[in-house]
Amino acid sequence: MNISIKEKILSTLINAKGEPVSGQKLADELHISRTMIWKHLKSIEEDGYVIEAIKKKGYILQSIPDLVTPEQILPKLNTKQLGRNIDYYTSCTSTQIIAADKARQGASHGTVIISEEQTAGKGRLERSWDSTANKGIWMSVIIRPNISPEFAAQFTLVSAVAINQAIQEVTNLTPQIKWPNDILINGKKVTGILTELQADMDIVHSIIIGIGVNVNQELSAFDESIQNIATSLKMENGEEVDRSLLVAKILYYLEKYGDLYVEKGFEPIKILWESHNCTIGKRIRATMLRETLEGVALGITKDGVLELRLDSGEIRGIYSADIHL
Ligand code: BTN
């Protein structure tokens, strides 16, 4: 892991939990001059942190801005590889587009591209994705699992299970997964996942997991056209959510369940997915590229395909569709 001096100073201030940190001690530990420490502190303040200098005692971190910078995420991160390399933007077109380029250029397993805002966020099925500045989590994770391309789609369900678990742990809300990977709270969408594959016929080069979580938006932040189908974590539990903590938790569970999947296959993930889903047993409408089918969702197969029983009694496997409950 490559942590910059600025990140180390910030981590020390955060870990001091309101106690003063001596400038001389920082300088000695990091082997740089007091002047350099002061310059880094100024740069940290420019990022929105409030630092108080107390004579003869040192520096106290008074408040932390709600940002998803590496400096905020790394101290909360408990992973081996995921998120150990974070590429942060205040604004970009789409983290998914940047991640696809970086993956082609050889970015390592676990690299994260994250932005406070996206000006051209991409959703599934060529839709756009509303990505208000500083209110949500807009990130793409590059993973390089040793699996063959036919299994890559299952990673979509792995991601849904991981994000569902992270949201539950950070907020105490009880989200549910709509097949394949929308996350809903009280029937409204709080998270979307876009999984893209870079592969040859027999080998996966990378899977790019694009994750959009509506975190601290008010209703008015959403476009009118989606106000009746979208929600945010704050709208559901009435409290601001620490976005960097949620990012760290999502990466933790993505690594945990990703490793479990690679080691043990889809079966344990299927059980977790089923226990959090809100699709199975319901009457649904599945809109696909060439047809729309209606019926009862019977379950998912051992490969993650949704099985639908039509009114005629025929059972059809759904591989990719827009589902209406
Ligand atoms: C969906 O349609 O449900 C998927 C939405 C995925 C949105 C995320 S936000 C981060 C990443 N960058 C994008 O442009 N899209 C994904």
The pLDDT value recorded for residue 204 is: 95
Name residue 61's amino acid. L
If one counts every other C-beta atom within 10 angstroms of the C-beta of residue 260, the result is 17
Ligand 1, residues 95, 164, 194: which to mutate, most atoms within 8 A of Cβ? 194
Distances (CA, A) of 295 to 35, 181, 246, 281: 69, 19, 36, 10
CA distance 193 to 212: 6
Ligand 1 neighbours, Cβ below 6 Å, are: 94-96, 118, 121-124, 127, 129, 131, 138-140, 182, 192-194, 210-212
Q: Are 325 and 278 in contact (CB under 8 A)?
A: yes
Q: How far is the CA of 39 from the centre of ligand 1 (A)?
A: 37
Q: What angle do CA 269, 272, 274 make, to 5 degrees?
A: 105
Q: What is the pTM assigned to this prediction?
A: 0.88
**Binding site membership for biotin: which residues?**
118, 189
Q: Atom 9 in ligand 1: which residue has the minimum CA distance?
A: 212
Q: Which fold has domain 70-276?
A: BirA Bifunctional Protein; domain 2 (3.30.930)
Q: Which fold has domain 5-63?
A: Arc Repressor Mutant, subunit A (1.10.10)
Confidence class of residue 4 from pLDDT cuts 50, 70 and 90? confident
Residue 229 DSSP class: T
The pLDDT value recorded for residue 262 is: 94
Please enumerate in sequence order all residues whose Cβ is within 8 A of that of 197, keeping only pairs 6 or more positions apart, or say none: 149, 152, 204, 206, 207, 208
Domain with CATH 2.30.30.100 in the chain: 283-324
Q: Atom 7 in ligand 1: which residue has the minimum CA distance?
A: 212
Confidence class of residue 3 from pLDDT cuts 50, 70 and 90? low
CA distance 45 to 60: 12
Domain 283-324 in CATH 2.30.30.100 = yes
The pLDDT value recorded for residue 71 is: 83
Distances (CA, A) of 176 to 94, 185, 199, 254: 26, 6, 30, 17
The pLDDT value recorded for residue 11 is: 87
Confidence class of residue 249 from pLDDT cuts 50, 70 and 90? very high
Domain with CATH 3.30.930.10 in the chain: 70-276
CA distance 163 to 272: 12
CA distance 165 to 287: 28
Q: Which of 159, 183, 164 is nearest to 304 (CA)?
A: 159
Mean pLDDT of 89-110: 98
pLDDT tens digits for range 269-322 = 999 999 999 999 999 999 998 999 999 999 999 889 999 999 999 999 999 899
Q: How far is the CA of 120 from the centre of ligand 1 (A)?
A: 10
Place of tokens 């938006």: 217
Q: Is the pLDDT of residue 1 over 50?
A: no
Q: Atom 16 in ligand 1: which residue has the minimum CA distance?
A: 210
Average pLDDT of the chain, as a whole number:
95
CA distance 87 to 269: 29
**Binding site membership: which residues?**
118, 189
The pLDDT value recorded for residue 2 is: 47
pLDDT tens digits for range 113-162 = 999 999 999 999 889 999 999 999 999 999 999 999 998 889 999 999 99
Domain with CATH 1.10.10.10 in the chain: 5-63
Q: Which of 159, 84, 78, 77 is nearest to 124 (CA)?
A: 159
Ligand 1, residues 111, 183, 188, 211: which to mutate, most atoms within 8 A of Cβ? 211
Ligand 1, residues 131, 163, 178, 214: which to mutate, most atoms within 8 A of Cβ? 131
